[in-house]
Chain A
Amino acid sequence: MLGLLTGFIQELRESGIPVSMVEAIDAAEALRFTDLSDRPAFKATLGSTLVKNARHYEAFETAFEVYFALLRPAPGDHADDVPPEERPRKSASSAGGGGGGQADLDGLLEALRRALTDGDQGLLRAVARRSVARLAGMEPGRPVGGTYYLYRTLRRLDIDQILEGLLAAAGTSPDTTALETRLLREEYEERIEDFREEVRAEIRRRLVADRGREAVAKTLRRPLLEETDLMHASGDELMLLGQVIHPLTRKLAARLAQRRRRGRQGRLDFRRTVRRSLSTGGVPLEPQFRSPRPTKPEVFLLCDVSGSMATFARFALQFVYAMSGQFSKLRSFAFVDGIDEITGFFEAGAAFEVALERVGREAEVVWLDGHSDYGHALGQFWDRYGSDLTPRSTVIITGDARNNYRDAGDDVMAAMAEAARAVYWLNPEPRAYWDTGDSVMSAFARHCDDVFEVRNLRQLESFVEGLALPRRRIGRLRTEWKPAEYT
């Protein structure tokens, strides 16, 4: 058991979950009090001792399924396995679709329907087992991923057909309302998802038996959500990210306000000190200070929404959306080669999808040809909104700084840095790619308080964390330069 546990912990670490030595010991200790035959309890024990972040739970679950797949409760396990002599017959049935194979499939479908209607987990699991045995056609040693087998199994069962059939069967009574039908559909969909999960688990179990734990775990390893590359995140991942950035924006708001609050001790409040001293016989034991009035942080957020930044821009706008709930003085802008203010689209209560659509439709971000032109876009920003920048405003620019070999106009950046309290640049490209090709990152970086590589959520987090620390401007220019007219 201990060997298995250390292997499992190793796998967790490989997939990016930080498991400390202490936690490993805790897990081993906790297992002494755990009924190992009770799978949910066993999982709860490992989960609560080894994984301390809800975001890591999915990776934990995958690893758990792989490592302890063989420990799954398997009622009549060997009975489910396909006897060798059955293989040819099965392939014949899948080709011709007649004889005992078809009857078998019908029986399976019938059982599946029953399991889905009643929500019978045990039966569902048994059907999943049997389906994989019959339909997946798994062969030992074949270098195919689990998805292929999943597809094969589910295709033969024709899952979508089953859902419609179930609904038709349930919808026959005349008194079912529209609402009822809808709830029923959702319920069935959920159960079918459960079934899929069972099938997946079964396939995994067989793969593990065939290839061994380490090999399977390795193929299933996926980057954690916070390490997902924002430039190439899928729609689902972006949605999940959208949910987890809320806490981050709250933190950012707190950080920006905190810096101010800590920056200056308030002046002595003579009146309150004297008043307070009365309770200690006139000895001013506790000097009272006027608390400095917390000023609200002003944030200007400039997002590159050009084609090369499509996925990241969506994420950036999600960030804008989340931030608009936290900052009363947040102004957001989108740019390609022109710039437009998009603050209004993210007004309190607006749905993100609607706001996103409005940015795409209404914001005038294209000036000439719709290829990134930082020089022009920033120049336009300076002309139109530059006078709004005060020593209290923080400017955050997100973009890859790929300027299509146009004039970077970094003098505008210098002016902005001069006017604002701080300018930060978040670049979603790996640091190694900066200044390659048409990237003009360092030209801008000279004027920024700091530049960050923000390719994933973790880096965004560290940017927010880092804001609390006082920093010096890196090579900031202090020239008496006035920007030219841009229009």
Chain B
Amino acid sequence: MGRSGIVEGPIDEESEIRSLVKGKTEIGAIVTFRGVIRETSPHGRVKMLYYDFYPEMAGRVLEEIRTEAIERFGLVDATLLHRVGEVPVGETALLVITASEHREAAFQAAGWMVDEVKRSAAIWKKEVFAEGGERWVEEG
């Protein structure tokens, strides 16, 4: 089944998909989005991102986003995981999986969920540069 939450280590996408679809034969479309740490930044070559988070708020909001997406887009199920702490370049920081009977709902829901995480989850990221130094990312 789908789930939401804060994760402190690597995210196993295939395992999450298997868990989400198990026994749900009505699923006709699965969309996955992985937010991956990229090396490039206008401020230098990134080695990793460090994510800080407010445990009581971030976990609750991720579940609210997941349940609202299921209701709003008529999904069969969804998973929403955000990794925190140190996340090296190339690894996944955000995983969204949406499953629906038809593809349109799954595509729309995945985009909406990513936007909502950025807008309302109490999580903050800091770029850590390969040549030394670091910088908190400010958005909004």
Partners in one complex: no
A residues near B (Cβ < 8 Å) are none
